[in-house]
Chains A and B, each alone.
Chain A
Amino acid sequence: MDKETLRLNLETELKRGVQTLAVLSLLKDKQYGYSLLEALALKNMNIEAGTLYPMLRRLETQGLLESSWDLVEARPRKYYSLSQLGEEMLDELMAVYKKMSKDLALWL
């Protein structure tokens, strides 16, 4: 494995945990898959489409997200948003994340 691939792998590994946090926090307002992908990219949180779409389904199965199909527009779209459990989990995860980055900032 060359140095660049290794770095990319480590970076992906490092970002993986935070991705869920970012997705949950952007889903306080309902979004469909592609709009969420773009919103994440705008915030420099580039997640591959092939990773994000399955992740949304997984989070929904875990009860953190709710979804509904909007059939009114020309193209049907599936919108995702935080469930009650998702909101609670997001608050708790945010607290963990903030404490962790504060602690790490002290010595990293």
Chain B
Amino acid sequence: MAIGGTMNDLIERYIYDVKRRLKENQRSEIEKELRMNIEDMLNGDHSEDNVKSVLLSLGSPAKLAVNYKEPQYLISPEMFDDYIRVLTIVLIVFASITVIGGVVGAFFSTGSVFESILEVFFGSLIQSLFTGFGITTLIFVGMEAYQKKHKPEFKLDSLPKVPKVESRKNLRVEIIVEMIFSIVFGSIFVFLLLANYGEFTFVLDANTYEYTGQIIQQSVVNVFVPVVIIDMVLSNIIRIIKFKEGGYTLKLGVAYSILELTSLTIITILLLQPNLFNTGFTDLFNQALDIDFANTLGLTVKGIMSVVWIIVLIEQVVMWYRLIKQEKKVI
């Protein structure tokens, strides 16, 4: 009796293990059927050996349950390679930015260097890696869901053109990565601009200095935010067309240059305004640190803008150099 009980228990455990992997509405019917099939296979012999051999011949519950289901996945095999490539790049860049940010932060931190390192590795690094993983996965799951819903028909016209400049880099991966960064950093930037609020308290030489309120002038923010959003949308549209065209065409190159230079010019004009920062905010630092803070901040902004201009100009030169080389080849 004891043996019979154990053997029935084994059967119940097997059925349970299959059942728990199935959809709710399939469970009772499949359970009934499976119980019947096992009983038939046992053919009245409930001995330990027979039960074991029958259950083994049915194979692992996980595999059996899979056979009952339609194949399911969040990211299809067709997209998986691109997913892994994009994910690798995103994670490497996110990790680098966090580590660099952490090192810079450690200089200003009041804690020990060891504490700062621990904080970077176990706090920010893990958090930023999960964020990168989450965003990339969500984008791919979204693309997959779109394809599943609309089942776009394969059209010869939709084949991407052979890249004009031969490159080992995968154009599709490159463009998705660029889009992820443009969306992530663009959104963070817009978010910070919209928040535009800070609380500062300094205690220096027994004097307390406080400032609570806006950091950047609202009038600047009002122009800045739409410019950043429009630039983000347009540059991503250009990236999608670039992917379809297999690289930059002359027209696309012109459009990209105009967009980049115009938005950068507008941003520069905005940032170089003398009243960029709220006077209350700069006054606090003026008093607390006894320096011309507005001037220092102005110089920093100018410095950052110069670096951005240099990077953008180099990018433009490289793009046009390649574009002209490729156009000459075509002719």
Q: A residues within 8 Å of B by Cβ? A: 32-35, 48-51, 53-55, 57, 75-78
A residues within 8 A CB of B57? 48-50
Closest Cβ–Cβ distance, residue A6 to chain B (whole Å): 20
A54 to B59, CA, bound (A): 13
Q: Evaluate whether A53 and B40 lie within 8 angstroms (CB atoms) in the complex, with A48-B57, A48-B59 already known.
A: no
B residues within 8 A CB of A77? 36, 40
The total of chain B residues at the interface (CB under 8 A) is: 16
A50 to B67, CA, bound (A): 8
The answer to whether B34 has its CB under 8 Å from any CB of chain A is yes
Do residues B36 and A75 form an inter-chain contact, with CB atoms below 8 A?
A: yes
The answer to whether B260 has its CB under 8 Å from any CB of chain A is no
Do residues B40 and A34 form an inter-chain contact, with CB atoms below 8 A?
A: yes
Q: List 9 A-B contacts (CB under 8 A).
A: A32-B40, A33-B33, A48-B57, A50-B57, A53-B33, A53-B67, A75-B40, A76-B32, A78-B33
Do residues A50 and B36 form an inter-chain contact, with CB atoms below 8 A?
A: no
Per-position 1/0 for B28-41, Cβ under 8 A of A: 00101110110111
User: Of the candidates B30, B32, B40, B58, which one forms a contact with A50 in the assembled complex, judged by CB atoms under 8 Å apart?
Assistant: B58
User: Of the candidates B32, B37, B59, B68, which one forms a contact with A34 in the assembled complex, judged by CB atoms under 8 Å apart?
Assistant: B37
Do residues B68 and A57 form an inter-chain contact, with CB atoms below 8 A?
A: yes
Known pairs A32-B40, A76-B36, A78-B32; list 6 more (Cβ under 8 Å): A50-B58, A50-B67, A51-B67, A53-B33, A53-B67, A77-B36
Majority DSSP secondary structure for residues of A touching B: helix
A residues within 8 A CB of B58? 49-50
Task: Kindly list the 8 A-B residue pairs having the minimum CB-CB distance in the complex, ordered from nearest.
Answer: A34-B40, A54-B67, A50-B59, A54-B68, A33-B37, A50-B64, A50-B58, A49-B58
Closest Cβ–Cβ distance, residue A29 to chain B (whole Å): 17
Closest Cβ–Cβ distance, residue A81 to chain B (whole Å): 15
Per-position 1/0 for B4-36, Cβ under 8 A of A: 000000000000000000000000001011101
A77 to B63, CA, bound (A): 24
Do residues B36 and A32 form an inter-chain contact, with CB atoms below 8 A?
A: yes
Closest Cβ–Cβ distance, residue A75 to chain B (whole Å): 6
> Which residues B41-64 have CB closer than 8 A to chain A?
41, 57-59, 63-64
In this complex, what residue of B is CB-closest to A76? B36
In this complex, what residue of A is CB-closest to B61? A50
Do residues B40 and A33 form an inter-chain contact, with CB atoms below 8 A?
A: yes
B residues within 8 A CB of A57? 30, 33, 68
A49 to B59, CA, bound (A): 8
Closest Cβ–Cβ distance, residue B320 to chain A (whole Å): 52
User: Of the candidates A48, A49, A51, A55, which one forms a contact with B37 in the assembled complex, judged by CB atoms under 8 Å apart?
Assistant: A49
In this complex, what residue of A is CB-closest to B60? A50
Do residues B36 and A78 form an inter-chain contact, with CB atoms below 8 A?
A: yes
In this complex, what residue of B is CB-closest to A55? B67
In this complex, what residue of A is CB-closest to B70? A58
Do residues B36 and A33 form an inter-chain contact, with CB atoms below 8 A?
A: yes
Do residues A53 and B34 form an inter-chain contact, with CB atoms below 8 A?
A: yes
In this complex, what residue of A is CB-closest to B29? A57
A residues within 8 A CB of B67? 50-51, 53-55
Closest Cβ–Cβ distance, residue A57 to chain B (whole Å): 6
A88 to B112, CA, bound (A): 80
Do residues A75 and B37 form an inter-chain contact, with CB atoms below 8 A?
A: no
Do residues B64 and A54 form an inter-chain contact, with CB atoms below 8 A?
A: yes
A residues within 8 A CB of B59? 48-50
Closest Cβ–Cβ distance, residue B36 to chain A (whole Å): 6
Q: Evaluate whether A50 and B37 lie within 8 angstroms (CB atoms) in the complex, with A57-B30, A57-B68 already known.
A: no
Closest Cβ–Cβ distance, residue A105 to chain B (whole Å): 33
In this complex, what residue of B is CB-closest to A48? B59
A residues within 8 A CB of B33? 33, 53, 57, 78
